[in-house]
């Protein structure tokens, strides 16, 4: 696949250009808004296109030199891949000669930690005294995980807009209700909170959040367009926190992604944070797809939901290690507002260590 960028005044227009050129085979890679040197804001949308189709549409039957250069680059890439394979084979041979490293790798891989990350940790240790001490290696990996995990501290010192995004069924609406209750009632200094609801897709979504808002005596406003969104953000300038609930979407739902980008690009007076709500129970392959498709929203942190529905946290830890996203909150039950806690990597590691010990 080859990535190509299209520029227009809105994400939808740029994406439509890509579809017009290549058809529906394009897949969205990123979408962002940039201010150009002339002072005008423009939207750049990058899409992935099959290589043969890119060559056909971009060069046609002519420009053989350009096509030849692309093929040469492909051959160079293949050579690099072969060299990497040889390097990996040599590394595996070294690991096989250390039964302790092999044992530690097998233990952590069984619990969901990626081989590539473990290789990076163990590579400097090969041939050292530590490489023959299994308990010490296990402790070393735990310490490295602790060091690598990131937590985003709760900072409510300035008014802000907090948007929650994520796939369908991860518990965004319940999580946003918990956050609203926390900010409005559970802090030393209660904050003035409002809820904006962009979810016009899921049956009952507006009613569910409306129920929570009425119980907490918090303003709740359903929003149906970007103009509406901008108008209501302006009307809520006196609020400390504006929480925004978005429609749950498949990581492959391009239309909803483009719409979310348009909401993010709305003019506003407060800063906006974007938090990905991710279930602790999702398998790693799905986590990767979710991240790759939501990451172009410039995520500030991850809120981990359904913490109480699993005892196996290796897959989640592996995701956080590979993508280096800071965690902000853990949602560990259905009760509003009780089942929400500030993200704590020590707490997460305790759950993981328990699982490792069982192994």
The Cα 210–Cα 220 span in angstroms is: 6
Q: Which residues of the chain have pLDDT under 70?
A: 33, 35-36, 59-73, 75, 82, 84-98, 200-205, 250-255, 269, 355-359
With CA atoms as reference, report the closest residue to 165 among 27, 335, 291: 291
Amino acid 98: pLDDT: 66
Structure tokens at 272: 């906006």
Amino acid 132: pLDDT: 85
Amino acid 62: pLDDT: 47
Amino acid 97: pLDDT: 55
Amino acid 63: pLDDT: 52
Enumerate residues 6+ apart whose C-beta is below 8 A from 27. 1, 47, 48, 252, 254
Q: What is the 3-state secondary structure (H, E, C) of the chain?
A: CEEEEEEECCHHHHHHHHHHHHCCCCEEEEEEEEECCCCCEEEEEEEEECHHHHHHHHHCCCCHHHHHHHHHHHHHHHHHHHHHHHHHHHHHHHHHCCHHHHHHHHHHHHCCCCHHHHHHHHHHHCCCHHHHCHHHHHHHHHHHHHHHCCECCCCCCCCEEEEEECCCCCCHHHHHHHHHHHHHHCCCCCCCEEEEECCCCCCCHHHHHHHHHHHHCCEEEECCCHHHHHHHHHHCCCCCEEEEECCCCCCCCHHHHHHHHHHHCCCCCCEEEEEEEEECCCCHHHHHHHHHHHHHHCCCEEEEECHHHCCCCHHHHHHHHHHCCCEEEEECCCCCCCCEEECCHHHHHHHHHHHHHHC
Amino acid 92: pLDDT: 55
- CATH number for the region 160-346 comes to 3.40.50.300
Q: Are strands 340-342 and 327-331 parallel, antiparallel or unpaired?
A: antiparallel
> Average pLDDT, whole number, for the chain?
82
Amino acid 305: pLDDT: 92
Amino acid 205: pLDDT: 62
CB 290 within 8 A of CB 167: yes
């Amino acid at each position: 696949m080859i990535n190509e960028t299209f520029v227009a005044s809105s994400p939808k227009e740029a994406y439509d250009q890509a579809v017009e050129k290549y058809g529906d085979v394009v897949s969205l890679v990123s979408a962002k808004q940039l201010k150009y040197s002339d002072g005008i804001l423009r939207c750049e949308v990058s899409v992935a296109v099959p290589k043969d189709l890119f060559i056909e549409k971009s060069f046609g039957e002519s420009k053989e030199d350009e096509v030849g250069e692309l093929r040469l680059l492909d051959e160079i890439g293949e050579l690099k891949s072969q060299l990497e394979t040889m390097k990996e084979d040599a590394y595996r041979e070294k690991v096989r000669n250390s039964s302790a490293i092999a044992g530690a790798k097998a233990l952590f891989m069984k619990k969901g930690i990626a081989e590539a990350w473990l290789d990076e940790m163990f590579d400097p240790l090969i041939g050292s005294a530590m490489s023959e001490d299994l308990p010490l290696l296990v402790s070393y990996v735990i310490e490295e995980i602790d060091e690598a995990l990131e937590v985003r501290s709760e900072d409510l010192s300035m008014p802000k807009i907090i948007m929650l995004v994520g796939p369908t069924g991860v518990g965004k609406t319940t999580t946003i209700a918990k956050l609203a209750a926390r900010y409005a009632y559970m802090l030393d200094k209660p904050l003035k909170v409002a809820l904006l609801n962009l979810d016009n897709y899921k049956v009952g979504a507006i009613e569910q959040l409306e129920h929570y808002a009425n119980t907490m005596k918090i303003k709740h406003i359903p929003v149906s367009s970007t103009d509406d969104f901008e108008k209501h953000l302006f009307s809520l300038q006196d609020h400390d926190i504006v929480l925004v609930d978005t429609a749950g979407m498949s990581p492959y739902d391009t239309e909803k992604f483009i719409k979310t980008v348009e909401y993010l690009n709305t003019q506003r007076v407060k800063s906006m944070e974007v938090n990905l709500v991710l279930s602790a129970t999702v398998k790693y392959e799905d986590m990767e797809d979710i991240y790759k498709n939501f990451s172009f929203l410039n995520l500030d942190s991850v809120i981990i939901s359904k913490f109480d529905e699993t005892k196996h946290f290796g897959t989640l830890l592996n995701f956080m290690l590979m993508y280096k996203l800071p965690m902000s909150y853990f949602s560990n039950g259905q009760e509003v507002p009780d089942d929400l806690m500030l993200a704590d990597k020590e707490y997460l590691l305790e759950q993981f260590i328990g699982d490792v010990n069982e192994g």
